[in-house]
Structure 1
Amino acid sequence: MATVTELVIYPIKSCAGIEVEEAQCGIDGLFAQGVHDREWMLVTREGLFLTQREFPRMALVTPRIAGDALDLDAPGMPLLRLPLAHDAGAPTITVQIWDDHIAAADCGDAAAAWFAAVLGTDCRLVRFRPDTQRATSTKWTGGAPAATRFADAYPILLIGQASLDDLNAKLVNAGRASLPMNRFRPNLVVDGLDAFEEDFLASLDAGGLMLRPVKPCARCPIPAIDQATGSIGPDPLDILQSYRANPRMDGAVCMGMNCIVAQGAGRRLRVGQELETTLRF
Protein backbone atom coordinates (compact mmCIF):
# COMPACT_ATOMS: atom_id res chain seq x y z
CA MET A 1 0.00 0.00 0.00
CA ALA A 2 1.40 3.40 -1.01
CA THR A 3 1.19 6.37 1.36
CA VAL A 4 1.15 10.10 0.60
CA THR A 5 4.23 11.67 2.20
CA GLU A 6 4.31 15.12 0.53
CA LEU A 7 1.83 17.42 -1.16
CA VAL A 8 3.30 20.51 -2.80
CA ILE A 9 1.63 23.43 -4.54
CA TYR A 10 3.67 25.81 -6.69
CA PRO A 11 1.56 29.00 -6.80
CA ILE A 12 3.89 30.71 -9.30
CA LYS A 13 5.27 28.57 -12.09
CA SER A 14 8.99 27.82 -11.53
CA CYS A 15 9.16 29.61 -8.16
CA ALA A 16 9.37 27.84 -4.78
CA GLY A 17 6.56 25.59 -3.63
CA ILE A 18 4.41 25.37 -0.53
CA GLU A 19 4.10 22.05 1.29
CA VAL A 20 0.57 21.46 2.54
CA GLU A 21 -0.96 18.77 4.73
CA GLU A 22 -4.14 18.54 2.66
CA ALA A 23 -5.23 19.66 -0.80
CA GLN A 24 -8.29 19.45 -2.97
CA CYS A 25 -7.57 17.59 -6.19
CA GLY A 26 -9.30 19.30 -9.08
CA ILE A 27 -9.24 18.29 -12.71
CA ASP A 28 -6.64 21.02 -13.27
CA GLY A 29 -4.41 20.23 -10.28
CA LEU A 30 -4.05 20.73 -6.55
CA PHE A 31 -5.82 23.53 -4.65
CA ALA A 32 -5.30 24.50 -1.01
CA GLN A 33 -6.02 27.52 1.19
CA GLY A 34 -7.35 29.56 -1.73
CA VAL A 35 -4.42 28.89 -4.08
CA HIS A 36 -4.16 26.64 -7.14
CA ASP A 37 -1.03 24.99 -8.40
CA ARG A 38 0.70 27.09 -11.11
CA GLU A 39 -1.95 29.81 -10.85
CA TRP A 40 0.53 32.58 -11.63
CA MET A 41 3.32 32.77 -14.20
CA LEU A 42 6.07 35.14 -15.30
CA VAL A 43 6.21 36.16 -18.94
CA THR A 44 8.22 38.43 -21.20
CA ARG A 45 6.72 41.65 -22.54
CA GLU A 46 5.72 39.57 -25.55
CA GLY A 47 3.90 37.07 -23.33
CA LEU A 48 6.35 34.14 -23.56
CA PHE A 49 6.61 32.14 -20.31
CA LEU A 50 9.75 32.24 -18.13
CA THR A 51 11.17 29.45 -15.97
CA GLN A 52 14.23 28.48 -13.94
CA ARG A 53 15.70 27.12 -17.16
CA GLU A 54 16.58 30.71 -18.08
CA PHE A 55 16.42 32.36 -14.65
CA PRO A 56 17.55 30.06 -11.81
CA ARG A 57 16.90 32.85 -9.27
CA MET A 58 13.20 32.12 -9.61
CA ALA A 59 13.84 29.33 -7.09
CA LEU A 60 14.50 32.02 -4.45
CA VAL A 61 11.01 33.53 -4.73
CA THR A 62 9.28 32.00 -1.72
CA PRO A 63 5.47 32.14 -1.46
CA ARG A 64 3.45 31.99 1.73
CA ILE A 65 -0.33 31.97 2.08
CA ALA A 66 -1.33 34.71 4.54
CA GLY A 67 -5.08 34.81 4.99
CA ASP A 68 -6.54 36.47 1.91
CA ALA A 69 -3.18 37.10 0.25
CA LEU A 70 -0.14 35.35 -1.16
CA ASP A 71 3.02 36.87 0.32
CA LEU A 72 6.24 36.64 -1.68
CA ASP A 73 9.79 36.93 -0.32
CA ALA A 74 13.10 37.07 -2.18
CA PRO A 75 16.62 37.93 -0.94
CA GLY A 76 17.14 41.68 -0.54
CA MET A 77 13.57 42.51 -1.56
CA PRO A 78 10.60 43.94 0.36
CA LEU A 79 7.56 41.72 0.80
CA LEU A 80 5.23 41.56 -2.21
CA ARG A 81 1.59 40.84 -1.37
CA LEU A 82 -0.76 39.45 -4.00
CA PRO A 83 -4.48 39.43 -3.15
CA LEU A 84 -6.15 36.05 -3.58
CA ALA A 85 -9.39 37.65 -4.73
CA HIS A 86 -9.49 37.91 -8.50
CA ASP A 87 -9.49 41.44 -9.91
CA ALA A 88 -12.32 41.56 -12.44
CA GLY A 89 -10.86 44.76 -13.89
CA ALA A 90 -7.35 43.41 -14.48
CA PRO A 91 -6.14 43.83 -18.07
CA THR A 92 -6.16 40.66 -20.13
CA ILE A 93 -3.10 39.75 -22.17
CA THR A 94 -2.38 36.73 -24.36
CA VAL A 95 0.47 34.58 -23.05
CA GLN A 96 2.25 31.60 -24.56
CA ILE A 97 3.26 28.43 -22.76
CA TRP A 98 4.76 25.93 -25.16
CA ASP A 99 2.25 25.72 -28.04
CA ASP A 100 -0.71 27.08 -26.07
CA HIS A 101 -1.85 30.69 -26.28
CA ILE A 102 -3.98 31.68 -23.28
CA ALA A 103 -5.81 34.80 -22.13
CA ALA A 104 -4.39 35.71 -18.69
CA ALA A 105 -4.87 38.53 -16.20
CA ASP A 106 -1.97 40.98 -15.87
CA CYS A 107 -1.04 41.56 -12.21
CA GLY A 108 0.08 45.15 -12.63
CA ASP A 109 3.16 47.34 -12.70
CA ALA A 110 4.15 46.95 -9.03
CA ALA A 111 4.39 43.15 -9.30
CA ALA A 112 6.22 43.47 -12.63
CA ALA A 113 8.78 45.87 -11.16
CA TRP A 114 9.34 43.60 -8.13
CA PHE A 115 10.04 40.54 -10.27
CA ALA A 116 12.18 42.53 -12.69
CA ALA A 117 14.37 43.55 -9.74
CA VAL A 118 14.60 39.93 -8.53
CA LEU A 119 15.47 38.44 -11.91
CA GLY A 120 17.26 41.35 -13.55
CA THR A 121 15.05 41.23 -16.63
CA ASP A 122 11.94 42.95 -17.89
CA CYS A 123 8.91 40.73 -17.20
CA ARG A 124 5.26 40.67 -16.22
CA LEU A 125 3.39 38.55 -13.68
CA VAL A 126 0.12 37.07 -14.96
CA ARG A 127 -2.62 35.03 -13.34
CA PHE A 128 -4.79 32.27 -14.76
CA ARG A 129 -8.27 33.63 -15.33
CA PRO A 130 -11.12 31.81 -13.53
CA ASP A 131 -13.19 31.83 -16.73
CA THR A 132 -10.45 30.08 -18.74
CA GLN A 133 -9.76 26.38 -19.21
CA ARG A 134 -6.55 24.96 -20.67
CA ALA A 135 -7.10 21.45 -21.97
CA THR A 136 -4.16 19.07 -21.95
CA SER A 137 -3.09 16.93 -24.88
CA THR A 138 -5.00 13.66 -25.13
CA LYS A 139 -2.10 11.96 -26.92
CA TRP A 140 -1.00 10.22 -23.71
CA THR A 141 -4.39 9.90 -22.01
CA GLY A 142 -6.06 7.50 -24.44
CA GLY A 143 -8.47 10.26 -25.37
CA ALA A 144 -9.50 11.02 -21.78
CA PRO A 145 -9.98 14.77 -21.24
CA ALA A 146 -7.92 16.66 -18.67
CA ALA A 147 -6.92 20.22 -17.90
CA THR A 148 -4.19 22.21 -16.23
CA ARG A 149 -3.29 25.81 -15.48
CA PHE A 150 0.27 26.96 -16.14
CA ALA A 151 1.93 23.57 -15.57
CA ASP A 152 4.04 22.36 -18.48
CA ALA A 153 1.78 19.53 -19.54
CA TYR A 154 -0.47 17.75 -17.03
CA PRO A 155 -2.05 18.70 -13.68
CA ILE A 156 -0.13 16.51 -11.19
CA LEU A 157 3.45 15.25 -11.09
CA LEU A 158 4.01 12.10 -9.04
CA ILE A 159 7.34 10.73 -7.78
CA GLY A 160 7.89 7.74 -5.52
CA GLN A 161 10.27 8.28 -2.61
CA ALA A 162 12.06 5.04 -3.52
CA SER A 163 12.92 6.47 -6.93
CA LEU A 164 14.80 9.38 -5.37
CA ASP A 165 16.42 7.00 -2.87
CA ASP A 166 17.64 4.87 -5.77
CA LEU A 167 19.13 7.88 -7.54
CA ASN A 168 20.76 9.12 -4.34
CA ALA A 169 22.37 5.73 -3.72
CA LYS A 170 23.94 5.94 -7.18
CA LEU A 171 25.09 9.52 -6.58
CA VAL A 172 26.70 8.57 -3.26
CA ASN A 173 28.40 5.56 -4.87
CA ALA A 174 29.86 7.97 -7.42
CA GLY A 175 31.26 10.12 -4.60
CA ARG A 176 28.62 12.83 -4.92
CA ALA A 177 26.09 14.32 -2.52
CA SER A 178 22.52 13.11 -2.37
CA LEU A 179 19.76 15.47 -3.49
CA PRO A 180 16.46 16.56 -1.92
CA MET A 181 13.15 15.83 -3.56
CA ASN A 182 12.55 19.52 -4.36
CA ARG A 183 15.10 19.32 -7.20
CA PHE A 184 12.41 17.43 -9.13
CA ARG A 185 9.46 19.65 -8.14
CA PRO A 186 6.71 17.02 -7.70
CA ASN A 187 3.19 17.76 -6.51
CA LEU A 188 2.72 14.33 -4.98
CA VAL A 189 5.34 12.14 -3.28
CA VAL A 190 4.41 8.64 -2.17
CA ASP A 191 6.19 6.01 -0.11
CA GLY A 192 5.62 2.28 -0.27
CA LEU A 193 6.43 1.78 -3.95
CA ASP A 194 9.50 0.11 -5.37
CA ALA A 195 11.98 2.37 -7.17
CA PHE A 196 10.33 3.74 -10.33
CA GLU A 197 7.26 1.57 -9.82
CA GLU A 198 5.20 4.69 -10.58
CA ASP A 199 6.21 4.19 -14.23
CA PHE A 200 4.02 1.09 -14.36
CA LEU A 201 0.96 2.18 -12.38
CA ALA A 202 -2.47 2.13 -14.01
CA SER A 203 -4.04 4.08 -11.14
CA LEU A 204 -3.79 5.33 -7.57
CA ASP A 205 -7.07 5.31 -5.65
CA ALA A 206 -7.58 7.51 -2.59
CA GLY A 207 -11.06 6.55 -1.45
CA GLY A 208 -12.85 7.46 -4.67
CA LEU A 209 -10.29 9.93 -5.96
CA MET A 210 -8.51 8.11 -8.76
CA LEU A 211 -5.31 9.41 -10.31
CA ARG A 212 -4.00 7.92 -13.52
CA PRO A 213 -0.32 8.24 -14.47
CA VAL A 214 -0.23 8.95 -18.19
CA LYS A 215 3.12 10.33 -19.34
CA PRO A 216 6.71 9.97 -18.11
CA CYS A 217 8.22 13.29 -17.05
CA ALA A 218 11.15 14.14 -19.31
CA ARG A 219 13.66 16.06 -17.23
CA CYS A 220 14.92 19.48 -18.29
CA PRO A 221 17.97 21.23 -16.71
CA ILE A 222 16.00 22.34 -13.61
CA PRO A 223 17.11 19.36 -11.44
CA ALA A 224 20.61 20.82 -11.73
CA ILE A 225 19.48 23.94 -9.83
CA ASP A 226 19.84 24.07 -6.05
CA GLN A 227 16.37 25.19 -4.95
CA ALA A 228 17.74 26.71 -1.74
CA THR A 229 20.37 28.93 -3.38
CA GLY A 230 19.36 29.35 -7.01
CA SER A 231 22.83 28.20 -8.06
CA ILE A 232 23.54 25.55 -10.68
CA GLY A 233 25.02 22.21 -9.67
CA PRO A 234 25.56 19.43 -9.07
CA ASP A 235 23.62 18.07 -12.03
CA PRO A 236 22.16 14.54 -11.58
CA LEU A 237 21.26 14.08 -15.24
CA ASP A 238 24.50 12.33 -16.16
CA ILE A 239 23.76 9.62 -13.60
CA LEU A 240 20.11 9.44 -14.66
CA GLN A 241 21.15 9.21 -18.30
CA SER A 242 22.93 5.95 -17.53
CA TYR A 243 19.70 4.16 -16.63
CA ARG A 244 16.68 6.41 -17.09
CA ALA A 245 16.72 7.19 -20.83
CA ASN A 246 13.20 6.30 -21.96
CA PRO A 247 12.66 4.94 -25.49
CA ARG A 248 8.96 5.89 -25.27
CA MET A 249 10.15 9.49 -24.96
CA ASP A 250 12.71 9.35 -27.79
CA GLY A 251 15.50 8.64 -25.32
CA ALA A 252 14.75 11.56 -22.97
CA VAL A 253 15.84 11.16 -19.35
CA CYS A 254 12.68 10.64 -17.29
CA MET A 255 11.86 10.69 -13.60
CA GLY A 256 8.33 10.93 -12.26
CA MET A 257 4.95 10.49 -13.91
CA ASN A 258 2.47 13.10 -15.05
CA CYS A 259 -1.02 12.24 -13.82
CA ILE A 260 -4.59 13.17 -14.61
CA VAL A 261 -7.66 12.91 -12.39
CA ALA A 262 -9.62 9.99 -13.78
CA GLN A 263 -12.38 9.97 -11.16
CA GLY A 264 -13.50 11.92 -8.11
CA ALA A 265 -12.33 15.42 -9.05
CA GLY A 266 -12.85 17.77 -6.10
CA ARG A 267 -12.01 15.18 -3.44
CA ARG A 268 -9.08 15.74 -1.09
CA LEU A 269 -5.65 14.23 -0.66
CA ARG A 270 -3.86 14.45 2.66
CA VAL A 271 -0.40 13.59 3.93
CA GLY A 272 -0.48 10.14 5.54
CA GLN A 273 -3.36 8.94 3.36
CA GLU A 274 -3.09 5.43 1.97
CA LEU A 275 -3.46 4.86 -1.76
CA GLU A 276 -4.53 1.66 -3.40
CA THR A 277 -2.37 1.13 -6.47
CA THR A 278 -3.01 -0.92 -9.59
CA LEU A 279 -0.34 -1.95 -12.07
CA ARG A 280 -0.83 -1.76 -15.85
CA PHE A 281 0.18 -5.38 -16.29
Structure 2
Amino acid sequence: MLSLAALYRYPLKSAAAEVLSQSFVGAQGLIGDRRWMLVDVASGRFLTQRALPAIGRISALWQVDGSLRLQAPGLAELLVTVPGSEAVRRTVTVWRDSLEVPDAGDEAAQWLQQVIGQPCRLVQVPEALARQVDQQYAQPADRVGFADGFPLLLISQASLGDLSTRVGRPLEMLRFRPNLVVTGCEPYAEDQWRRIRIGGLEFELVKGCSRCILTTLDPHTGERSADREPLTTLKTYREREGEVYFGQNVLPRGCGELRLGQAVEILD
Protein backbone atom coordinates (compact mmCIF):
# COMPACT_ATOMS: atom_id res chain seq x y z
CA MET A 1 0.00 0.00 0.00
CA LEU A 2 1.23 3.48 -0.86
CA SER A 3 1.67 5.68 2.19
CA LEU A 4 3.28 8.87 3.42
CA ALA A 5 6.57 7.82 5.02
CA ALA A 6 8.22 11.15 5.87
CA LEU A 7 7.47 14.87 6.15
CA TYR A 8 10.13 17.56 6.09
CA ARG A 9 9.95 21.32 6.50
CA TYR A 10 12.69 23.89 5.81
CA PRO A 11 11.67 27.12 7.59
CA LEU A 12 14.90 28.86 6.53
CA LYS A 13 15.78 28.28 2.89
CA SER A 14 18.83 25.97 2.57
CA ALA A 15 19.19 25.42 6.35
CA ALA A 16 18.69 22.10 8.14
CA ALA A 17 15.37 20.26 7.82
CA GLU A 18 12.69 19.95 10.47
CA VAL A 19 11.48 16.35 10.71
CA LEU A 20 7.70 16.33 11.21
CA SER A 21 5.09 13.75 12.10
CA GLN A 22 2.24 15.97 10.91
CA SER A 23 1.75 19.37 9.32
CA PHE A 24 -0.95 21.67 8.04
CA VAL A 25 -0.86 22.21 4.28
CA GLY A 26 -1.97 25.53 2.83
CA ALA A 27 -1.98 27.04 -0.64
CA GLN A 28 1.78 27.64 -0.39
CA GLY A 29 2.71 24.17 0.87
CA LEU A 30 3.56 23.06 4.40
CA ILE A 31 2.88 25.81 6.89
CA GLY A 32 6.12 27.64 7.71
CA ASP A 33 8.12 26.07 4.88
CA ARG A 34 10.79 28.34 3.37
CA ARG A 35 9.24 31.56 4.61
CA TRP A 36 12.68 32.89 5.67
CA MET A 37 15.83 33.37 3.60
CA LEU A 38 19.39 34.67 3.77
CA VAL A 39 20.42 37.25 1.19
CA ASP A 40 23.61 39.01 0.15
CA VAL A 41 23.83 42.49 1.70
CA ALA A 42 24.88 44.30 -1.47
CA SER A 43 22.85 42.56 -4.16
CA GLY A 44 19.89 41.11 -2.25
CA ARG A 45 20.43 37.82 -4.06
CA PHE A 46 19.50 34.67 -2.14
CA LEU A 47 22.23 32.66 -0.40
CA THR A 48 22.22 28.86 -0.23
CA GLN A 49 24.41 25.86 0.54
CA ARG A 50 25.35 25.70 -3.14
CA ALA A 51 28.01 28.31 -2.44
CA LEU A 52 27.93 28.43 1.38
CA PRO A 53 27.72 24.91 2.89
CA ALA A 54 27.86 26.43 6.40
CA ILE A 55 24.18 27.38 6.02
CA GLY A 56 23.43 23.69 6.50
CA ARG A 57 24.71 23.91 10.09
CA ILE A 58 21.84 26.24 11.00
CA SER A 59 18.80 24.70 12.67
CA ALA A 60 15.80 26.96 12.07
CA LEU A 61 12.65 25.88 13.87
CA TRP A 62 9.31 27.36 12.86
CA GLN A 63 7.13 28.53 15.75
CA VAL A 64 3.34 28.60 15.80
CA ASP A 65 3.27 32.41 15.74
CA GLY A 66 5.46 32.41 12.61
CA SER A 67 8.67 33.35 14.40
CA LEU A 68 11.95 31.51 13.86
CA ARG A 69 14.12 29.83 16.50
CA LEU A 70 17.74 29.75 15.31
CA GLN A 71 20.36 27.34 16.64
CA ALA A 72 23.94 26.64 15.55
CA PRO A 73 27.03 25.04 17.13
CA GLY A 74 28.82 27.39 19.52
CA LEU A 75 26.15 30.10 19.55
CA ALA A 76 23.34 30.93 21.95
CA GLU A 77 19.87 30.25 20.57
CA LEU A 78 18.14 33.25 18.98
CA LEU A 79 14.40 33.78 18.59
CA VAL A 80 13.57 35.99 15.60
CA THR A 81 10.08 37.47 15.59
CA VAL A 82 8.10 38.09 12.43
CA PRO A 83 8.97 41.60 11.19
CA GLY A 84 6.25 44.15 11.84
CA SER A 85 4.82 46.80 9.58
CA GLU A 86 7.63 49.18 10.60
CA ALA A 87 10.37 46.82 9.38
CA VAL A 88 12.70 47.96 6.61
CA ARG A 89 11.76 46.49 3.24
CA ARG A 90 14.54 44.95 1.18
CA THR A 91 14.51 44.07 -2.52
CA VAL A 92 15.62 40.46 -2.89
CA THR A 93 16.12 38.09 -5.80
CA VAL A 94 15.26 34.37 -6.00
CA TRP A 95 16.43 33.10 -9.38
CA ARG A 96 14.55 35.34 -11.86
CA ASP A 97 12.06 36.73 -9.35
CA SER A 98 12.56 40.01 -7.52
CA LEU A 99 10.33 41.07 -4.65
CA GLU A 100 10.33 43.51 -1.75
CA VAL A 101 10.08 41.83 1.65
CA PRO A 102 10.67 42.79 5.31
CA ASP A 103 14.15 42.56 6.85
CA ALA A 104 14.40 40.74 10.20
CA GLY A 105 16.84 43.25 11.74
CA ASP A 106 20.47 43.64 12.79
CA GLU A 107 20.57 41.11 15.65
CA ALA A 108 19.55 38.23 13.39
CA ALA A 109 21.93 39.37 10.65
CA GLN A 110 24.89 39.51 13.04
CA TRP A 111 24.06 36.09 14.51
CA LEU A 112 23.88 34.51 11.07
CA GLN A 113 27.07 36.21 9.89
CA GLN A 114 28.94 34.37 12.63
CA VAL A 115 27.78 31.06 11.17
CA ILE A 116 28.31 31.63 7.46
CA GLY A 117 31.37 33.89 7.69
CA GLN A 118 30.14 36.78 5.56
CA PRO A 119 27.72 39.71 5.85
CA CYS A 120 24.11 38.78 5.16
CA ARG A 121 20.56 39.77 5.95
CA LEU A 122 17.63 37.62 7.04
CA VAL A 123 14.31 38.32 5.30
CA GLN A 124 10.79 36.94 5.66
CA VAL A 125 8.04 36.61 3.07
CA PRO A 126 4.47 37.37 4.20
CA GLU A 127 1.84 35.24 2.48
CA ALA A 128 0.51 38.26 0.60
CA LEU A 129 3.91 38.85 -1.04
CA ALA A 130 4.54 35.28 -2.22
CA ARG A 131 5.76 34.75 -5.78
CA GLN A 132 3.73 33.52 -8.73
CA VAL A 133 4.51 29.92 -9.69
CA ASP A 134 5.59 29.50 -13.33
CA GLN A 135 2.27 29.57 -15.22
CA GLN A 136 3.58 27.07 -17.73
CA TYR A 137 2.92 24.51 -14.98
CA ALA A 138 0.50 26.25 -12.64
CA GLN A 139 -2.69 28.27 -12.34
CA PRO A 140 -2.63 32.07 -11.95
CA ALA A 141 -3.51 31.84 -8.25
CA ASP A 142 -0.64 29.45 -7.37
CA ARG A 143 1.98 31.09 -5.16
CA VAL A 144 5.26 30.03 -3.54
CA GLY A 145 7.38 31.57 -0.79
CA PHE A 146 11.18 31.30 -1.00
CA ALA A 147 11.32 27.72 -2.35
CA ASP A 148 13.12 27.55 -5.70
CA GLY A 149 9.98 27.28 -7.80
CA PHE A 150 7.17 25.16 -6.36
CA PRO A 151 5.52 24.79 -2.94
CA LEU A 152 6.24 21.06 -2.46
CA LEU A 153 8.67 18.36 -3.56
CA LEU A 154 7.85 14.64 -3.52
CA ILE A 155 10.22 11.66 -3.80
CA SER A 156 9.54 7.95 -3.34
CA GLN A 157 11.68 5.91 -0.98
CA ALA A 158 12.06 3.32 -3.75
CA SER A 159 13.66 5.88 -6.07
CA LEU A 160 16.26 6.73 -3.43
CA GLY A 161 16.87 3.02 -2.83
CA ASP A 162 17.50 2.41 -6.51
CA LEU A 163 19.85 5.38 -6.74
CA SER A 164 21.76 4.20 -3.65
CA THR A 165 22.24 0.79 -5.25
CA ARG A 166 23.56 2.37 -8.43
CA VAL A 167 25.96 4.62 -6.52
CA GLY A 168 27.11 1.73 -4.32
CA ARG A 169 26.43 3.24 -0.91
CA PRO A 170 23.42 4.37 1.13
CA LEU A 171 22.31 7.92 0.40
CA GLU A 172 20.44 10.25 2.72
CA MET A 173 17.03 11.42 1.53
CA LEU A 174 17.80 14.90 2.87
CA ARG A 175 20.40 15.40 0.13
CA PHE A 176 17.37 16.02 -2.07
CA ARG A 177 15.38 18.16 0.40
CA PRO A 178 11.88 16.77 -0.24
CA ASN A 179 8.78 17.71 1.72
CA LEU A 180 6.88 14.48 1.06
CA VAL A 181 8.35 10.97 0.95
CA VAL A 182 6.14 8.13 -0.28
CA THR A 183 6.71 4.41 0.24
CA GLY A 184 5.12 1.34 -1.32
CA CYS A 185 5.73 1.98 -5.04
CA GLU A 186 8.29 0.99 -7.66
CA PRO A 187 11.35 3.22 -8.24
CA TYR A 188 10.49 6.39 -10.17
CA ALA A 189 6.77 5.56 -10.24
CA GLU A 190 6.20 9.19 -9.19
CA ASP A 191 7.43 10.29 -12.63
CA GLN A 192 4.13 9.03 -14.07
CA TRP A 193 1.75 10.42 -11.45
CA ARG A 194 -0.25 13.53 -12.28
CA ARG A 195 -2.71 13.75 -9.40
CA ILE A 196 -2.65 12.05 -6.02
CA ARG A 197 -4.62 12.13 -2.79
CA ILE A 198 -3.01 11.88 0.65
CA GLY A 199 -5.55 11.57 3.41
CA GLY A 200 -8.28 13.93 2.24
CA LEU A 201 -5.98 16.31 0.33
CA GLU A 202 -5.34 16.33 -3.39
CA PHE A 203 -2.05 17.31 -5.01
CA GLU A 204 -0.97 17.92 -8.59
CA LEU A 205 2.46 16.70 -9.74
CA VAL A 206 3.46 19.18 -12.43
CA LYS A 207 7.16 18.93 -13.22
CA GLY A 208 10.24 16.85 -12.54
CA CYS A 209 12.75 18.51 -10.20
CA SER A 210 16.08 19.36 -11.83
CA ARG A 211 19.01 18.72 -9.51
CA CYS A 212 22.22 20.63 -8.86
CA ILE A 213 25.51 20.47 -6.95
CA LEU A 214 23.62 20.74 -3.65
CA THR A 215 22.88 17.01 -3.84
CA THR A 216 26.59 16.28 -3.43
CA LEU A 217 26.64 17.80 0.08
CA ASP A 218 26.36 15.53 3.11
CA PRO A 219 23.24 16.92 4.87
CA HIS A 220 24.77 16.29 8.31
CA THR A 221 28.36 17.49 7.84
CA GLY A 222 28.11 19.85 4.87
CA GLU A 223 31.06 18.09 3.23
CA ARG A 224 31.00 17.75 -0.54
CA SER A 225 31.41 14.29 -2.09
CA ALA A 226 34.83 14.03 -3.72
CA ASP A 227 33.30 11.84 -6.46
CA ARG A 228 30.42 14.29 -7.02
CA GLU A 229 27.91 11.60 -6.15
CA PRO A 230 25.02 11.13 -6.50
CA LEU A 231 24.97 13.71 -9.32
CA THR A 232 27.53 11.76 -11.34
CA THR A 233 25.39 8.61 -11.35
CA LEU A 234 22.13 10.50 -11.91
CA LYS A 235 23.60 11.99 -15.07
CA THR A 236 24.04 8.49 -16.53
CA TYR A 237 20.32 7.70 -16.57
CA ARG A 238 18.24 10.68 -15.40
CA GLU A 239 19.51 13.42 -17.70
CA ARG A 240 17.52 14.99 -20.51
CA GLU A 241 18.12 18.20 -22.43
CA GLY A 242 21.06 19.03 -20.17
CA GLU A 243 19.13 18.76 -16.87
CA VAL A 244 19.23 15.95 -14.30
CA TYR A 245 15.87 15.06 -12.72
CA PHE A 246 15.03 13.36 -9.43
CA GLY A 247 11.70 13.85 -7.64
CA GLN A 248 8.54 15.71 -8.60
CA ASN A 249 7.43 19.28 -7.97
CA VAL A 250 3.95 19.41 -6.47
CA LEU A 251 1.11 21.91 -6.11
CA PRO A 252 -1.46 21.48 -3.30
CA ARG A 253 -5.10 21.51 -4.37
CA GLY A 254 -6.69 22.19 -1.01
CA CYS A 255 -5.85 22.83 2.62
CA GLY A 256 -5.75 20.48 5.57
CA GLU A 257 -3.63 18.22 7.76
CA LEU A 258 -1.06 15.65 6.65
CA ARG A 259 0.13 12.89 8.98
CA LEU A 260 2.70 10.15 8.62
CA GLY A 261 1.20 6.82 7.61
CA GLN A 262 -1.69 8.28 5.62
CA ALA A 263 -2.62 6.35 2.50
CA VAL A 264 -1.54 7.76 -0.88
CA GLU A 265 -4.00 7.25 -3.73
CA ILE A 266 -3.07 7.73 -7.39
CA LEU A 267 -5.88 9.65 -9.11
CA ASP A 268 -4.22 10.16 -12.51
TM-score (normalizing by structure 2): 0.93
Matched, 1:52 2:49: yes
Match of 1:79 in 2: 77
Deviation at 1:102, TM superposition (A): 1.1
> What letter matches 1:273 in structure 2?
Q
In structure 1, which of residues 198, 205, 209 is the aligned counterpart of residue 197 of structure 2?
205
Match of 2:233 in 1: 239
Deviation at 1:86, TM superposition (A): 4.5
Match of 1:253 in 2: 244
> What letter matches 1:126 in structure 2?
V
Gaps of 5+ in 1: none
Give distance in 2, aligned partners of 1:182 and 1:93.
Answer: 30
Matched, 1:188 2:180: yes
Give distance in 2, aligned partners of 1:20 and 1:159.
Answer: 16
Give distance in 2, aligned partners of 1:98 and 1:63.
Answer: 22
Give distance in 2, aligned partners of 1:187 and 1:44.
Answer: 26
CA contact (8 A) 2:145 2:151 kept: yes
Deviation at 1:133, TM superposition (A): 2.9
Give distance in 2, aligned partners of 1:184 and 1:66.
Answer: 24
Deviation at 1:49, TM superposition (A): 0.5
Gaps of 5+ in 2: none
Match of 1:269 in 2: 258
- Which whole-Å deviations, capped at 9, do the CAs of 1:36-66 have from their partners, x for residues lacking one? 1001000011211111111011111012346
What's the C-alpha RMSD, in Å, of the aligned pairs? Answer: 1.6
> What letter matches 1:236 in structure 2?
P
Deviation at 1:145, TM superposition (A): 4.1
Give distance in 2, aligned partners of 1:158 and 1:144.
Answer: 22
Match of 2:212 in 1: 220
> What letter matches 2:244 in structure 1?
V
TM-score (normalizing by structure 1): 0.89
Give distance in 2, aligned partners of 1:140 and 1:231.
Answer: 34
Identical aligned pairs, as a percentage? 38
Give distance in 1, aligned partners of 2:140 and 2:200.
Answer: 18
Match of 1:126 in 2: 123
- Which whole-Å deviations, capped at 9, do the CAs of 1:197-243 have from their partners, x for residues lacking one? 11110111124411111111000101111111111115211111111
> What letter matches 1:242 in structure 2?
T
Give distance in 2, aligned partners of 1:15 and 1:225.
Answer: 12
* Number of residue equivalences: 264
CA 1:94 to 1:244, structure 2 compared with 1: closer, same or farther past 3 Å? same
Partner of 1:254, secondary structure, is strand
Give distance in 1, aligned partners of 2:28 and 2:180.
Answer: 14
Matched, 1:148 2:159: no
> What letter matches 2:40 in structure 1?
T
